[in-house]
A and B are shown apart, each in its own frame.
Chain A
Amino acid sequence: MAGLELRGVRKDFGSVAVLKGIDLSIRDGEFVVFVGPSGCGKSTLLRVIAGLEAATAGNIHIDGAEVTRTAASDRGLAMVFQSYALYPHMSVHQNMSFALENMGVPKAEIARRVDRAARMLRLTDYLHRKPGALSGGQRQRVAIGRAIVRDPKIFLFDEPLSNLDAELRVATRKELAALHAEIGGTMIYVTHDQVEAMTLADRIVVLNGGRIEQTGTPLDLYNRPANLFVAGFIGSPRMNLLPADAVRLSLGEATTVGIRPEHVQPCGEADADLTVQVDLVEQLGGETFLYTTGPNDLKVTIRIDGQSALGRGDRLPVRLRREHLHFFDAAGLACRPDTIPARSHA
């Protein structure tokens, strides 16, 4: 277990800059999730940390020791691959003990550690099977087991759940969270699924175009997005981003107002900020999403607790809850009410 420090890490593939200067420090025992759209460089960053790709510039420190030029095998990290990358010709037991054999761990110790990991991951009955004879979820657990037995400084996960079906993904997600609570290692997890990011992370790192957009706890990012990208990326359905002029609300130099679907409330005509027309209703039983159009063709998504009797074409006066408004300036950066005094056109 160890902390990780990245300073000015850059990675170019030929003339294409994939990572454009990453500064990040991860504390010992922290569960950090890298999240971002496809091609944002999150997997590349993980591979640079792993040592599978060499950084073009910058420094990487693990536990205070510089490892920028250290080979992947000597960094003491373990990685779970998206494809699982189990050795197909070895049994589950051999897959898990391969790394320990390479490290020269005594046989008895190998058996003890493999047994412990197998028990933890409910793989004891499958130890002598080949990966080809396992289900997707079992292979996934073997891949995690292979990392656990190593007792690595840092666990690296590269989209480990993306090949599982929805149900198994939720179950495995819970297991991962439980696992982190149990063994308490430093874990870095790459995903494009924000639900995984929100539920697993102690801290989320949002990446976009090779840069870190924001780093913070899941609720921090949800409640106080630092810029338009994070505001739009975190949360599902997306935050409503409306031109400040159109809703006659602003703060400082803000040009865009953001409000999450659950903070747009149906109300009486008198209190209404906007009157919208319903285009589509999604009934989920416990909650309802309304996709609506306001004046000037503004698209507004509304979340209502419980079920709704509204249908397509219905008109609905709504109020934007003032305490949950987000303001962004022309550059897309957040303006905070605690830094700029509020100014209302209303």
Chain B
Amino acid sequence: MTGGLLRLLTRRRGGRGWHWTDVASYAYLALGVLLMFGPVLWLVLSSFKTPSALLEFPPSLLPMAQAEVRVEGYPQPLPLFTVTMEDGSVRELAQVRRIGIAAQMVDPKEPAKTIRVPVDRRTPVRHLAFAVGNYTDPLTQFDFLRYLRNSLVVTVVATLITLLINSMAAYALSVYEFRGKSLAMLGVIGTLMIPITIILAPVYLVVTKLGFVDSLWAVILPGAATPTGVFLLRQYMLTIPRDLIEAARMDKASEWRIYARIVMPLSLPALAVLAIFSVMWRWNEFLWPLAVLTKTEVHTLPIALNAFQGELQTQWHYLLAMTVVTLLPVALVFAFLQRFITSGIANTGMK
């Protein structure tokens, strides 16, 4: 496994020596990896930093924290410093307090004796420390699980509804011949050109009239029929041989059965693509839920995360940690469904 990976990572053109194109390719790929994963890595590492570490300058990549020791006679743990003494020796001392440019310090081994040290002679002792509290605090103080549940309900239910009704529309638009079919298709494609911000107000009015405000249905239903989905599925279903549908008709299958047993299984790659899109849209959706969900109990994660971002102060440490948590489900969905996108397309079983 490791050997194979190493071979893969050092693969060269022609197998021997380093041609300049090998170097260029690796440099280009490394840049790509840095551009794509750099921000994500920084986000994940920063999500483990304490608020003060987040604000320090110059910033550090790894989450570092100053070491602290408990010293006898002092109720609070004291920060630890490396101090260069006047005689040139180097000692580790804990700081009791700082007064102007001098610090009153104590050796943890001799708690009774305090030493005065100029502040520019000491450097903090730092070590790698993960502020796990960024993750655990929101679970207790901030009702993270409720927002996670809301987001999950919205994403799962909306994706299922989207797949169901979009595939039904696509089936009709690809399999049946009827008057006005092209017009219907044009209408579907036409709505692709209208951005959500334009229809925000009218849709809000409709949702209000239906009494959906402050329920998750207000988020789930309006976006369930997406023109993108109908178009994507219809184009895919057009590639399913008509013979198969006619064979099913000869096999006494009802139209519902043809849809469910023949067309849906064969459209799996397209359905997987739409499922990924739908999950991403719904999971990250911000503007529309912000408009229709006013009560905290029904907030979805992106809206809830917005609460960390106040007018005067932003709780970056919580915001970053919860952002990481929010990223995980989409990444997982993508990892599991992506194989469907490529598989099965060539597998039509004809001739």
Q: List residues of A whose CB falls within 8 A of some B CB.
A: 50-52, 71-74, 77-79, 81-89, 98-99, 102-103, 130-132, 136, 146, 150, 163
Are B247's CB and A81's CB within 8 A?
yes
Give complex CA distance A89, B349 in Å.
8
Q: List residues of B whose CB falls within 8 A of some A CB.
A: 241, 243-244, 246-254, 257, 261-262, 265-266, 347-351
Given A50-B250, A98-B248, A99-B252: A89 touches B243 (CB 8 Å cut-off): no
Give complex CA distance A158, B41 in Å.
61
Instruction: List residues of chain A with CB within 8 A of the CB of B265.
Output: 89
**B255 CB, nearest partner CB in chain A, Å:** 9
> In chain A, what residue has the closest Cβ to B268?
A89
Give complex CA distance A136, B244 in Å.
17
Contact of A103 among B252, B261, B347 (CB under 8 A): B252
Given A72-B249, A163-B351: A85 touches B254 (CB 8 Å cut-off): no
Instruction: List residues of chain B with CB within 8 A of the CB of A83.
Output: 241, 243, 350-351
Instruction: List residues of chain A with CB within 8 A of the CB of B348.
Output: 88
Give complex CA distance A71, B246 in Å.
11
Give complex CA distance A74, B252 in Å.
7
> In chain B, what residue has the closest Cβ to A104?
B252
**B248 CB, nearest partner CB in chain A, Å:** 7
> In chain A, what residue has the closest Cβ to B240?
A88
Contact of B349 among A79, A99, A132, A163 (CB under 8 A): A132
**B45 CB, nearest partner CB in chain A, Å:** 45
Are B266's CB and A88's CB within 8 A?
yes
- Contacts A79-B250, A87-B349, A88-B350 given; 20 further ones with Cβ under 8 A? A52-B246, A73-B250, A73-B251, A79-B246, A81-B246, A82-B243, A83-B241, A83-B243, A83-B351, A85-B246, A88-B349, A89-B265, A89-B349, A102-B252, A102-B253, A102-B257, A103-B252, A131-B349, A132-B349, A150-B251
Give complex CA distance A196, B25 in Å.
60
Are B347's CB and A132's CB within 8 A?
yes
Give complex CA distance A86, B247 in Å.
8
Are A72's CB and B246's CB within 8 A?
yes
Are A130's CB and B252's CB within 8 A?
no
Contact of B261 among A71, A98, A132 (CB under 8 A): A98
**A208 CB, nearest partner CB in chain B, Å:** 26
Provide 24 A-B residue pairs closer than 8 Å at the C-beta atoms, listed in order of the A residue.
Answer: A52-B250, A72-B246, A72-B249, A73-B249, A73-B250, A73-B251, A85-B244, A85-B246, A86-B350, A87-B244, A87-B247, A87-B262, A88-B266, A88-B350, A89-B349, A98-B261, A99-B250, A99-B253, A102-B254, A132-B347, A132-B349, A146-B247, A146-B251, A150-B251
> In chain B, what residue has the closest Cβ to A71?
B249
Given A83-B350, A83-B351: A78 touches B248 (CB 8 Å cut-off): no
Instruction: List residues of chain A with CB within 8 A of the CB of B246.
Output: 52, 72, 79, 81, 85
Are B250's CB and A77's CB within 8 A?
yes
Given A87-B244, A89-B266, A102-B257: A72 touches B250 (CB 8 Å cut-off): yes
Give complex CA distance A86, B266 in Å.
12
Instruction: List residues of chain B with CB within 8 A of the CB of A150.
Output: 251
Give complex CA distance A132, B244 in Å.
14
Instruction: List residues of chain B with CB within 8 A of the CB of A85.
Output: 241, 243-244, 246-247, 350
Instruction: List residues of chain A with CB within 8 A of the CB of B351.
Output: 83-84, 136, 163
Give complex CA distance A194, B257 in Å.
38
> In chain B, what residue has the closest Cβ to A75?
B250
> In chain B, what residue has the closest Cβ to A74?
B252
Give complex CA distance A73, B250 in Å.
5
> In chain B, what residue has the closest Cβ to A150?
B251
> In chain A, what residue has the closest Cβ to B261?
A98
**A46 CB, nearest partner CB in chain B, Å:** 11
**A17 CB, nearest partner CB in chain B, Å:** 20
Give complex CA distance A52, B244 in Å.
12
Give complex CA distance A130, B249 in Å.
21
Instruction: List residues of chain B with CB within 8 A of the CB of A86.
Output: 247, 349-350
Given A85-B241, A88-B349, A163-B351: A79 touches B247 (CB 8 Å cut-off): yes
Give complex CA distance A132, B348 in Å.
8
Instruction: List residues of chain B with CB within 8 A of the CB of A81.
Output: 243, 246-247
For B246, B251, B254, B350, the residue with the greatest tally of chain A CB atoms inside 10 Å of its CB is: B251
Are B266's CB and A84's CB within 8 A?
no
Instruction: List residues of chain B with CB within 8 A of the CB of A103.
Output: 252
**B246 CB, nearest partner CB in chain A, Å:** 5
Give complex CA distance A88, B254 in Å.
19
Give complex CA distance A89, B269 in Å.
13
**B65 CB, nearest partner CB in chain A, Å:** 56
> In chain A, what residue has the closest Cβ to B350?
A83
Give complex CA distance A78, B250 in Å.
6
**A27 CB, nearest partner CB in chain B, Å:** 22
